[in-house]
Amino acid sequence: MKKLIAAAVATSVSAIALADISITGSLKTNYTHTDYQSTATNDSDAFSHEGDLSIKGKSGDTSVVMNFGAIDGSGSAAATTGNIVSEDVYLTTKIGDVNVKMGTYDNGNNTLRASTRTPRASLSTELGGFSLSYLNGNGTSSSDANQNDEVGISTTLGGVSLGYTAKDGGETIKASTTVGGVSLSYLGLPSDTANKDRSYVELSTTLSGVGIKIGKAEAESSVKIEGDSWMGDFEGASDAYALDNGQDVTAVELSTSLEGNKVVFRNVSIDDVATKDTSFNKVIVTRPLASGATLEVTYTDLDDDGSTTTDSETLDIELAVKF
C-alpha cells in the first residue's frame, strides 16, 4: 500500500512539473499611525495587509495567467470573510507573427489616468523596425476606463523611443531618451474634448551616488490627474489626495544607499486651483532583512490648504515578502 501511495504521489508531482505551472505571490502587512494637527480629527492607528497570488500555466507559445488578491483595510469582502478575489484572467499566444492577449486584465498604473481592469483583447506585431498594435476593450464610451479601438505604433529613431496611439476620444503620445547620463521622458494624453489635455514630463539622473528625479504632471481646466505613481496615489483618492480639475503636480525625489538601506526623500506640490494647494514630504527607508522579508518605514508630513482637518503626520511600518 505504501508503495502504491508513493507511486501515486510521484505521478501527480510529475504531472504538475510537465504542465509547466508556476506560482508566485507577495504579501505586505502595514501598521499606520496618523497624527492630525486639528483637534477636530482624532488620531488613528490602523493595521492592514494586502496579498497577491499569481498562477501561470504554459504550453508552447501559449500562456494562461490567473491573478488573485486579498486586501484588508478597505472594507472589502475579501478582508472580512477571508476569501480570495479573482483579478486578472487572460491568455497570451501567437498566431503567426502576431502576438495575442485576451481576457480580463489591468491596464497598469499611469502617472495621469486611473487604471482599469476590464475584458479586452490586443494584437501586436513587428514590421520593418516598427511595433504595431491594436486593442479593443469591453466598453461603450470614450472614457479612460473603456479603451475602445486603440491603434498604436512605436519605434526608435536616433536614440529616441517614440510611441503614438490613436483611440476613441483622444490620443496617447510617448517619448523617451537619455542624453549625457540624463534620462528624459514625456507622456501626453491629448483629448478631442476641449480643455481636457493632460501631460507629464520627467527628468532623472545620478550625481555622486544620489539619484535625482523631477516630474511635472499638468491637467487642463476640465480634467483631473488620477494617476498612481511615485508622485502619489491620486486614483480613487479622498481628502487631500483627491485632485480637482486643473490641478498640477510637481515632484522631486532624491535617493541613495546608506548602511545597507535605501533612503528616499520626496517633495510633492499640488497647485493651480485657488485655496486648494497641497504639499507633502516623504522619507522612505527600505531594508532587506535576513529572513527574506523587506522592512519599509515611511514618514509623511502633509500640508493641505483645502481643508482645516487633513493636515497630518503619518508613520507607516511595512513588512513585505515575495515568493
DSSP string over 29-63:
EEEEEEEESSTTS--EEEEEEEEEEEEEEEETTEE
Which grid cell sits at 157? 529613431
- Residue 299, beta-bridge partner list: 283, 315
User: 2-6, 21-25, 43-47, 245-249 — which is least confidently predicted?
Assistant: 2-6
Percent of the chain with pLDDT over 90: 71
- C-alpha separations of 257 from 210, 263, 283, 319 in Å: 8, 6, 13, 19
- Other CB atoms within 10 A of residue 207 CB: 9
Residue 168: predicted pLDDT: 85
Contact between residue 88 and residue 208 where contact means Cβ atoms under 8 Å apart: no
Rounded distance between C-alpha atoms, residue 211 and residue 222, angstroms: 35
Strands (E), the chain: 21-36, 44-59, 62-71, 85-95, 98-106, 117-127, 130-137, 150-157, 160-167, 170-179, 182-189, 198-207, 210-219, 228-229, 232-233, 248-258, 261-271, 278-288, 294-304, 312-322
Residue 8 pLDDT level (bands cut at 50, 70, 90): very low
- Other CB atoms within 10 A of residue 147 CB: 21
Element (H, E) at 245: none
> Which residue type is seen at 206?
T
User: 87-96, 254-263, 267-276 — which is least confidently predicted?
Assistant: 267-276
Domain range summary for the chain, segments of one domain joined by +: 20-32+48-89, 198-323
Residue 149 pLDDT level (bands cut at 50, 70, 90): confident
- Give pTM, 2 decimals: 0.85
Q: For residue 70, give the nearest of 55, 49, 91 by alpha carbon.
A: 49
Q: Quick check: 137 pLDDT over 90?
A: no
Helix (H, G, I), strand (E, B) or coil at 257: strand
Q: Average pLDDT, stretch 164-171?
A: 92
Rounded distance between C-alpha atoms, residue 214 and residue 241, angstroms: 19
| 103-134: b (≥16 Cβ within 10 Å) or e | eebebeebbbbbbbeeebebebbeeeeeebbe
Q: Average pLDDT, stretch 300-318?
A: 90
Q: Quick check: 209 pLDDT over 50?
A: yes
Which grid cell sits at 21? 505551472
Q: For residue 138, give the nearest of 90, 94, 96 by alpha carbon.
A: 90
Contact between residue 110 and residue 94 where contact means Cβ atoms under 8 Å apart: no
Rounded distance between C-alpha atoms, residue 153 and residue 159, angstroms: 17
Residue 15: predicted pLDDT: 47
Q: What are the tens digits of pLDDT across the range 229-250?
A: 999 999 988 888 999 999 999 9
Helix (H, G, I), strand (E, B) or coil at 210: strand
The single residue listed with the C-alpha cell 476606463 is: 145
Which grid cell sits at 52? 497577491
Higher-confidence residue of 74 and 229: namely: 229
